[in-house]
Amino acid sequence: MISMSSILSSRSGLILFFLCLVPLATAYLDQGDYLLRICSTAYLYMLLALGLNVVTGFTGLLDLGYVGFYLIGGYTAGLLMARLGWSYWAALPVAAIHGGLWGLLRGAPTLRLTGDYFAIVTFGFSELLFRIVKNEEWLIGGPNGFVNDIPAPTLFGYELWQYWQQYYHILILLILTLLVVYRLHNSRIGRAWQAISQDEEAAQTMGINLHEYKSLAFAISAAIGAIGGAFFAQFQVNISAGVFEFWESILILCMIVLGGIGTLKGALIGAAILGSLGEVLRISLSWMRLPADSRYLIFGAILVMMMRFRPAGILRSTQKSP
C-alpha cells in the first residue's frame, strides 16, 4: 500500500502533522470556526489549483474556464444528493467522472488546433455552462438556479457537518489529489506532458501520441475540478450560479501563476496565499471603502507583474530560457 514516508519528504510530513493539529488549536479560540473555514477554503483552492495545473502547468495550454468543472461537480453532486437522495460517497465519484467526461469533450475539438483555440473554447464552454445554470430552472430546480438543502455526508452514522469535520474532509481530499498529481507528474505520463508543453512536434517524434496525452490531462484536470465542486456543494449546503463566474477561473489561474506555473509546490503556495488572502482582502478593502470586486485589480496586477518579472513564480527567480 501507499507508504506516506515515500511520498512526502520529512519536511512535508512535518507540515502535514501541524495541519492535522490545527482544529485542536482552534477549538480554544473565539473565532476558531471562522479560522477553520478560511483554512478549508484555502485547501479547496489548493485542490483546484492542482487540477488546473495539470492542463495549464503540465501541458502548457491556457485553460480560461476551469471553473466550468467546478460547476459541473457542484451541480452534479448537489442535484444527486438534494433531489435524488444519493449518498455523498456515491455522488462524489460520479461527479468526478461526469466532470472528466466533459473535460474530454471540451478538449476534443481543439486537439488539432493551436493552443489559442484551446483558450477560446475553454472560455466559451464555461461561460455557456454558467448561462445554462442561470437560465434553466427546470434543470437546476428552485428559482434563480439554486440547489439548496444539500445534506451533509455521513460516515459510520455520523453527519459530517461541523467545521473541524469539514476541515479534515477537504484536507484528506487535498492530500489524495496531491498524491495522484505528484505521482503522475513524476511518471512516464508526466514526462510526456512536459515534453508536449515544450515542443509538440519533438514530443511526437519520441512516440508520444499528442491527442491521447492531452486528452488524458484534460480528463484528469476536469475530474479534480469536479471533485472540488462536489465538496463545495455539501460545504455550502446551497449552491447557485453566481459562484461560477469567469473571474473565479481567473482567480485560480492567478494562483498557479503566482506560485509558478507547472510546479506542484507553486500551485499549493499560490493557492494558499490567494485562497486565504481573498478573505483578508475582502475585509481590508471594505475597511478602505473600496468595492470588494476591486481585489481583482490586485489579481490582474499579479498576473502582469509575475509574467514580466518572475515567470517561474515567486519562489524561483530563474528566468526560463526561451
Partner 1 sequence: MDIDPLLEITGLTKNFGGVVALAQVDLRVMPGQIASLIGPNGAGKTTLFNCVTGLMAPTTGKISFQQQDIFGTSAHQVAMNGIARTFQNIRLFSEMTVLDNVRIGCHTQSRGYLWAAISRNRAYREEELQITTDAQELLQFVNLENFATQIAGNLSYGDQRRLEIARALATNPKLLLLDEPAAGMNPQETNDLIALIRSIRERNITVFLIEHDMKLVMRISEWITVLNYGQKISQGPPEVVQSDPRVIEAYLGQSAGSNH
Partner 2 sequence: MTLFLEQIVNGLVLGGIYALIAVGYTMVYGVIQLINFAHGEIFMFGAYFTFLCLAVLKFPLWLAVLASILLCALMGVVIDLIAYRPLRNAPRLSALITAIGISLILQNLARMIWGAEPRRDLANAKSAFLSQTVIIPGGAQLSYLDLSIIILAILLMVGLNRLISLTRIGKAMRACAQDKMAASLMGIDTNRVIGATFAIGSALGAVAGIMVGMRETIEPTMGYYKGVAAFAAAVLGGIGNITGAMLGGVVLGIAEVLGAGYISSGYRVAISYILMILVIVFRPAGLLGRASAKRA
**Taking a C-beta distance cutoff of 8 angstroms, is the pair 189, 58 a contact?**
no
Stretch that binds partner 1, among 103-111, 153-161, 198-206, 234-242 (CB under 8 A): 198-206
In the complex, least distance from residue 210 CB atom to partner 2, rounded to whole angstroms: 9
311 interacts with, out of partner 1, partner 2, none, CB within 5 to 8 A per kind: partner 2
Q: Does 5 bind partner 1 (CB under 8 A)?
A: no
CB of 85: closest distance to partner 1 in angstroms?
32
Rg (CA), the chain: 19
Closest by CA position to 169, among listed 40, 78, 25: 40
* Count of residues that interact with partner 1, criterion CB under 8 A: 26
Residue 13 binds to partner 2 (criterion: CB under 8 A): no
* 3 state SS of 230: helix
How far apart CA 213 and CA 219 sit, in angstroms, is: 10
For residues 70 and 130, is the Cβ–Cβ distance under 8 A? no
CA dihedral 220, 225, 230, 233 (to 10 degrees): -170
Q: How many CB atoms lie within 10 A of CB 306?
A: 20
**How many Cα atoms occupy the beta-carbon half-sphere of 116 within 13 Å?**
0
Per-residue mark of binding to partner 2, 231-270 (x: CB under 8 A): ---------------x---x--x---x---x---------
What phi, psi does 28 have (nearest 5°)? -95, 0
Interface ranges with partner 2 (CB under 8 A): 56, 60, 62, 64, 109-110, 112-117, 119-121, 123-125, 127-128, 131-132, 134-135, 200, 246, 250, 253, 257, 261, 290-291, 293-294, 296-297, 299-304, 307-308, 311, 320, 322
Interface ranges with partner 1 (CB under 8 A): 180, 183-184, 187-192, 194-195, 198-199, 201-210, 216, 320-321
